[in-house]
Amino acid sequence: MSKNKAKAPQPLVIDGIENKNLTPEERKKKRIRTIALILAVAAFLSLSAFALSRIVRKVPGYYAVDAEADADCPLYASGVSFTYYFSGSSEEIRSAQMELKTLYSSALKRIYKLLDPENEYEGFKNIAYINAHRGEDIELDPDLYAILADAVKHTEAGEFNLFGGALYTEWQQIRVLNDRESFDPAVNEPEAERLAGIAAACTNEANFSLRLVDPIKHIVNFSVSAEYERFESDYEVKPSALDLGWLRYAYMLDHLRDQLVRAGYDRGYLIAPDGLTLTLAGLEDDGQYVISTLIGEEPKECVGLPMAAGSACAVYRAFDYEDAKEYYRVSSEDRVLYRHPHFSEGTGEVYDALFSAAALDKNGSLVSACIAANRLFSFEKLSVAAAAAKELASDEMLIAYIPREQPSVLFIDAADAASVTALNGFEIAVKTF
């Protein structure tokens, strides 16, 4: 019976290299490298496990709430963001997130469709439907009726123009052009004449009638004059005169806030384009509404205003920031003009006496905040804008602005000056009015 031969010891292999010819010092170095590699892999796996646990296990805190995709209305959530504070166990947070996402998506999509001035949707009698059925009595959704009734009041008060759709659209079309600097009315005389003609037609009160026929059944009737119809034909503008324009997102967020709070979701904030922010009824920590300025060619976040629960703030600026597409500059008569979305509805002109302006409504009306901020940007002369700021400031409305000619100076009502916080080490002078 043959005996099995014992196997010869195999040489130690480290990093794929036989170790039998290594010196003791080389073996030591190899072992150190191997241990370091093992520790690095262990650390990576540990971090990966921690990151995975953060995804799988939810902890109390602020989370972004993303709207659901919709192929039939893909842009309904464009530009709007929602951040909410979730508390409770991991399972409770996960359940609340799913519930809130469904509620938020449904409410946002609905109000977006109702306020769309150009596109009609099946099952909706929206602003586009009203524009397409001039002269007819139309029974509306109660929420749309209430919004239009409120917009009529602001129009009659001279704070807004519900019938400025042609002017709003004209500026939108200019701002998205690749060669918009060439078409800007400051340097393009035909466009300047066209814009003046559009502004004149939109501000002629005799051209429009929106009758609130029945507040119980929510019936309205919208019509335009024969003169305005000729204007639409001559200028080749879309028949969408009725348009919430720059107040559309403000009305959307005010409505969303009411829907969310009514459903019991009251800790978070909503953000929309052009510097609009709306907090819900509660916040878990202190935030700030940020005002920026322009020093030379560099935009700087320089001032923070208190973000109180249940407040709303519109922060307008004249200069481009973070590649904002609707902002640009054009040179005219040896002066650089800052072009932005906040034009004067009275003249159709864009003014840049202010670099930034903030209106903070402490009662939480984003519509009111937008109206105040837009008024500050509606004047060519700084002195007139400054007088308007003093008039607008109140116990309920915080007003602050930074002039173009004094980019390191913040003007604010004396009662609110103590609430200002300098940001990023920026030295800004605070003056009261």
**Residue 333 pLDDT > 60:** yes
Confidence band of 23 (pLDDT split at 50, 70, 90): low
pLDDT of res. 105 = 98
pLDDT at 180 over 50: yes
Instruction: Quote the pLDDT of residue 286.
Output: 78
Q: How many whole angstroms separate alpha carbon 180 and alpha carbon 350? A: 14
Average pLDDT, integer, range 275-304: 92
Tokens standing for residue 403: 């002039």
404 compared with 46, residue with greater pLDDT: 404
pLDDT in tens, 247-282: 999 999 999 999 999 999 999 999 998 899 999 988
Q: With contact defined as beta carbons under 8 Å apart, do 374 and 246 qualify?
A: yes
pLDDT in tens, 80-117: 999 999 999 999 999 999 999 999 999 999 999 999 99
Mean predicted confidence (pLDDT) in 123-131: 97
Q: Confidence band (pLDDT; 50, 70, 90) for 324?
A: confident
CA contacts within 13 A on the Cβ side of 414: 1
Condensed to tens digits (0 to 9), the pLDDT of residues 338-388 reads 999 999 999 999 999 999 999 999 999 999 999 999 999 999 999 999 999
Per the model's pLDDT, the better-predicted residue between 134 and 282 turns out to be 134
Residue scoring higher pLDDT (343 or 13): 343
Mean pLDDT of 286-308: 93
pLDDT band at residue 6 using 50, 70 and 90 as cut-offs: very low
Mean pLDDT of the 12-20 span: 44
Share of the chain above pLDDT 90, in %: 80
Least confident piece of the model among 176-180, 213-217, 367-371 = 176-180
Q: Which CATH homologous superfamily contains domain 286-433?
A: ApbE-like domains (3.10.520.10)
pLDDT of residue 11 exceeding 60, the answer is: no
Q: What is the pTM of this model?
A: 0.86
Task: Find the range with the poorest average confidence among 36-50, 122-136, 176-190.
Answer: 36-50
Report which of 136, 127, 113, 196 is spatially closest to residue 162, judged by C-alpha positions. 127
pLDDT exceeds 70 at position 336: yes
User: What is residue 420's predicted lDDT score, i.e. its pLDDT?
Assistant: 93
At 55 the pLDDT is 58
* The pLDDT of residue 321: 80
Reported as a pLDDT band with limits 50, 70 and 90, residue 3 is very low
- Domain-by-domain residue ranges, the chain? 14-49, 60-109+261-283, 116-243, 286-433
**Ramachandran angles phi, psi of 302, nearest 5°:** -115, -25
